[in-house]
Structure 1
Amino acid sequence: MDWFAASDYWLSRLVLQRALAGIYLVAFVSAALQFRALIGSRGLTPVPLFVRRVPFRASPSLFHWRYSDRLFAVCCWAGAALAASVAAGAADAVPLWLSVLMWAALWLLYLSVVNVGQLWYSFGWESLLLEAGFLAIFLGNARTAPPVLVLWLLRWLLFRVEFGAGLIKWRGDRCWRELTCLDYHHETQPMPGPLSWFFHRLPKPLHRVEVAANHVAQLVVPFGLLLPQPVATVAAAAVIVTQLWLVLSGNFSWLNWLTIVLALAAVDSSPFAAPPSYDESPLWFVLLVCAVAAVMLVLSYWPARNMISRRQQMNASFNTLHLANTYGAFGSVTKLRHEIVIEGTDEERLTEETRWKEYEFKGKPGDVRRLPRQFAPYHLRLDWQMWFAALSPGYALGWFEPFVARLLEGDPDTLRLLRHNPFPQSPPAHVRALLYRYRFTTWQERRETGDWWHRTLVREYLPPVAAAPEKGTDRTG
């Protein structure tokens, strides 16, 4: 079955699978370390309440049958251990059928997490990991040549990621067409990185070049992925370079890293190393891959239709298994950065002289003297939602006030999501939230003050709240 095998891609498959398993590892560890405060039994949006409200068919997950914090932790750490073993080569050291089951277990476990994760897991890279992880089930292992059909499905996935992102920009905010979006983006993106200040301060003509290059990378280069070699490899290299530029300029969880991994499916590795000899792929595997390819071809109708639609959606799933999704980001660019700063005080009686102390988050801007940190590919879910909440109070519905209540309780799980708790001995008596306008300092301001940010108070976001004695929530303003 020469048509089925693509031996020249053996090295690309090897690196792709190991790197994908590494991303799975990050995803499972991220879930394990953050779930108790976010979606645990006493979380801000508890899984038990969600599964009682949403039926299994709408969000397939193992946790519809049974949920406990201990079981969720076991699943996350089991997924992390399995991902680590696959990254180390375990799936290549076992028979093909067992390798398929290992990859399927990773996908099923993470699907179960995402489908009960609610707003904390509503990001495009969650669906992207699930779709890539599903296709990896059928990539084979060291005992079989890479299936050409799966490699093409991975290329098609990468095409949708890149071309979808390019279309949503071109159709969206006019600043993309005017080549001015990067005058704002590095400063207003959800979670700036350690180099974002420097990217923002690049000359504006260079920003124009960046935007133009991005249009080429996302609207032209993806078609090269579908062409014969060596064009496909050159296109993949262009995607990788573009994504590394994005890695340097911000924190977007594992989105950029996973896109780089997907690009490997278009890289012909034969010039780098001769392929090994393989046994013929077993018939059951060939039939399975063909069936999966047929299903994915049918499911691709919806994302393909979405891309050519004038009402293009971005980061949407058309089925509950997160297969054949549509992708895209930053169809509109925020021009001003607002941040919610949460403060507490241990004073029982509030006056104009009350001394407030700030809570510090791990990733999102707070202390103006603190250089933004690098966290990607790790995903700080609370920090990201705080960015959305600053855009509009509507994004904070259902979780922000419970979050404040946890701070008033001194909840250990919630406090572990923060960088600094100003009340280590006992919880505060009151907590409030203020909305600030943040901007990067200029070169001169940076030299004079040492600050990375300049901030101006806009308004009160949440008036002072006191811990309720038993029922309800008392507010004192």
Structure 2
Amino acid sequence: MWHWMGAPEYQAARFAVTHLLALTYLIGFVCFLRQFRGLLGERGLTPVARFVDRVPFGRAPSLFHFRCSDRWLAGAAWTGVAASLLAQVADLAPVWAWVALWALLWLLYSSIVNVGQIWYGFGWESLLLEAGFLAMFLGPTHISPPAPILWLLCWLLFRVEFGAGLIKLRGDSCWRDLTALHYHHETQPMPGPLSRAFHRLPPSLHKVEVLANHGTQLVVPFLLFAPQPVATAPAVIIVVTQLWLMLSGNFAWLNFLTITLAFAAVGGPAGPPSDPPGWFAVLVLAVTALFVVLAYWPVRNMVGRGQVMNRSFNRLHLGNTYGAFGSITRVRYEVVVLGAATPDGPWREYGFKGKPGDPARRPPQVAPYHLRLDWLLWFVAISPSYGRGWLPRFLRTLLLGERPVLDLLGHNPFPDHPPAVVRADLYRYRFSSAEERRATGHHWTRSRASDLIPPLTLDDVEDAFG
């Protein structure tokens, strides 16, 4: 009865999408486990308990409105880890068990995102939730993949790519004059080990990169909806482009998840067709109808003049709009945090796990892991307003030697006792030239630009910020 809904030639595509999605969920839960105490825990920079006290459930639906102790947060995350691993071997599960398992993953991670505040305000959080929600209705291997859900995954990939292309074309002029990558490899949030090499490519190749980006994001996505074998070609182009981006920088799991979605458009040999249970087919049709309705908001956003990027139009993070780097910074500034035993120094620098600090250190490979504090400090260097609400508390925790926050750092220069005074400076960073690299061995050159936060003692912090 429901054979018209099945797409048996996408069995391999479903396998790739669901297994890579489960891996992405696993990364997300592990990131939370390793960082939540310093960011969102009881002694963190923006505790969940304070958030749920002032924000009602209806504005941020989450399991953590009911309990939000560190033990409860950790327990939910460990449950997510276990469910992510179970999803890797759930291909032969009953349909109802498949739906329940993926629903649990979505419920747990959406509960984290909705109370994650500024630390979880990134587009790839909503992207994971939307893709993970659709995965509930792909079904296990003993039924044919539902064609409507595969179409919805392609529609999601279309919004990711085309939305990003539009925001670039409408935004910074450097995308239109093809100079964006003269700056971006150096000024991106989290450079990687090869970013300096990409930055030093000839200007003509940077222009080719921009042109290729425009083609991949503004033209190629329309071909995702072509019949096979044509639809496989744009998927391959998107995968290659995303691999290029993964080599050139660290963008958490954005590139990894975009590659995952691209597999939804890749056809293959048809497996034996098998109809789903009637109740599941009805559920698939209901979800499809829901997403048809939800499409109004991202379409209106994309065709409107005031396009925004990475916006969720509902509390469930479904039918979102996406985009990235509508504006490009031309100069790189970094927040350098220092402490001292006395106001006269000597000053010692705190090290971070991913963001540039010591000029001699090669930028590390971090992605698909996500270092949230490091990313937010990149935003603070662009505009200090991004630190409002947490940066003073961060300095206070350094003065108190609070272990949950210190665990977020790569190097604590005060292992025995906390400093008496801390400060934050802005430094101008640029990749070293070939000559500078040979002379110093450094990957970066830096010069002090200005104060960000003047020297503060614990009393100063308490008096100024309470």
Q: Common fold, TM-score beyond 0.5? A: yes
Q: CA offset at residue 278 of structure 1?
A: 4.5
Equivalent-residue separation in structure 1 for 2:385 and 2:459 (angstroms): 24
Equivalent-residue separation in structure 2 for 1:400 and 1:79 (angstroms): 30
Counting only pairs closer than 5 Å after superposition, residues 186-265 of structure 1 correspond to structure 2 as 186-265=185-264
The yes-or-no answer on 1:33 pairing with 2:24 is no
Equivalent-residue separation in structure 2 for 1:458 and 1:421 (angstroms): 23
Q: CA offset at residue 163 of structure 1?
A: 0.3
Q: How many residues align?
A: 465
Equivalent-residue separation in structure 2 for 1:58 and 1:471 (angstroms): 31
446, 449, 454: which one pairs with 1:463? Answer: 454
Equivalent-residue separation in structure 1 for 2:399 and 2:444 (angstroms): 28
Please state whether the residue corresponding to 2:335 is helix, strand or coil.
Answer: strand
Equivalent-residue separation in structure 2 for 1:359 and 1:65 (angstroms): 37
> Match of 1:425?
416
Please state whether the residue corresponding to 1:3 is helix, strand or coil.
Answer: helix
Q: CA offset at residue 392 of structure 1?
A: 1.0
Equivalent-residue separation in structure 2 for 1:46 and 1:474 (angstroms): 16
Residues 261-286 of structure 1: CA deviation (Å, up to 9, x unaligned):
0000000022xxx52x3432110000
Counting only pairs closer than 5 Å after superposition, residues 303-322 of structure 1 correspond to structure 2 as 303-322=298-317
> Match of 2:49?
48
Matched letter for residue 418 of structure 1: L
Q: Is the 8 A contact 2:396 2:461 kept in 1?
A: no
> Match of 1:385?
376
Structure-2 change in CA distance of 1:356 and 1:163 (3 Å): same
Equivalent-residue separation in structure 2 for 1:99 and 1:325 (angstroms): 24
> Match of 1:326?
321
Q: Is the 8 A contact 1:166 1:219 kept in 2?
A: yes
Counting only pairs closer than 5 Å after superposition, residues 310-459 of structure 1 correspond to structure 2 as 310-347=305-342, 350-351=343-344, 354-459=345-450
Equivalent-residue separation in structure 1 for 2:76 and 2:177 (angstroms): 48
> Match of 2:144?
145
Please state whether the residue corresponding to 2:333 is helix, strand or coil.
Answer: strand
Matched letter for residue 35 of structure 1: F
Matched letter for residue 401 of structure 1: P
Q: Is the 8 A contact 2:29 2:78 kept in 1?
A: yes
> Match of 2:5?
4
Equivalent-residue separation in structure 2 for 1:471 and 1:196 (angstroms): 40
The yes-or-no answer on 1:73 pairing with 2:74 is yes
Q: Which runs of 5+ in 2 are unaligned?
A: none
> Match of 1:156?
155
Counting only pairs closer than 5 Å after superposition, residues 92-171 of structure 1 correspond to structure 2 as 92-171=91-170
Equivalent-residue separation in structure 2 for 1:470 and 1:109 (angstroms): 36
Structure-2 change in CA distance of 1:121 and 1:474 (3 Å): closer
Equivalent-residue separation in structure 2 for 1:99 and 1:436 (angstroms): 51
Q: Is the 8 A contact 2:312 2:319 kept in 1?
A: yes
More divergent stretch after superposition (282-291 vs 56-65): 56-65
The yes-or-no answer on 1:18 pairing with 2:51 is no
More divergent stretch after superposition (149-158 vs 464-473): 464-473
Equivalent-residue separation in structure 2 for 1:235 and 1:470 (angstroms): 54
Q: Structure 1 length as normaliser, TM-score? A: 0.96
Q: CA offset at residue 93 of structure 1?
A: 2.9
Residues 13-33 of structure 1: CA deviation (Å, up to 9, x unaligned):
011101100000000000111
Matched letter for residue 243 of structure 1: Q
Equivalent-residue separation in structure 2 for 1:246 and 1:470 (angstroms): 41
Q: CA offset at residue 66 of structure 1?
A: 1.8
Matched letter for residue 229 of structure 1: Q
Matched letter for residue 13 of structure 1: R
Q: CA offset at residue 2 of structure 1?
A: 2.5
Q: CA offset at residue 470 of structure 1?
A: 11
Residues 378-422 of structure 1: CA deviation (Å, up to 9, x unaligned):
000000000000111111100001000001111111111111000
Matched letter for residue 84 of structure 2: A
Please state whether the residue corresponding to 1:94 is helix, strand or coil.
Answer: coil
Equivalent-residue separation in structure 1 for 2:125 and 2:253 (angstroms): 9
Equivalent-residue separation in structure 1 for 2:353 and 2:460 (angstroms): 30
Equivalent-residue separation in structure 1 for 2:26 and 2:463 (angstroms): 40
Residues 121-169 of structure 1: CA deviation (Å, up to 9, x unaligned):
0000000000000000000001211000000000000000000000000
Equivalent-residue separation in structure 2 for 1:472 and 1:98 (angstroms): 55
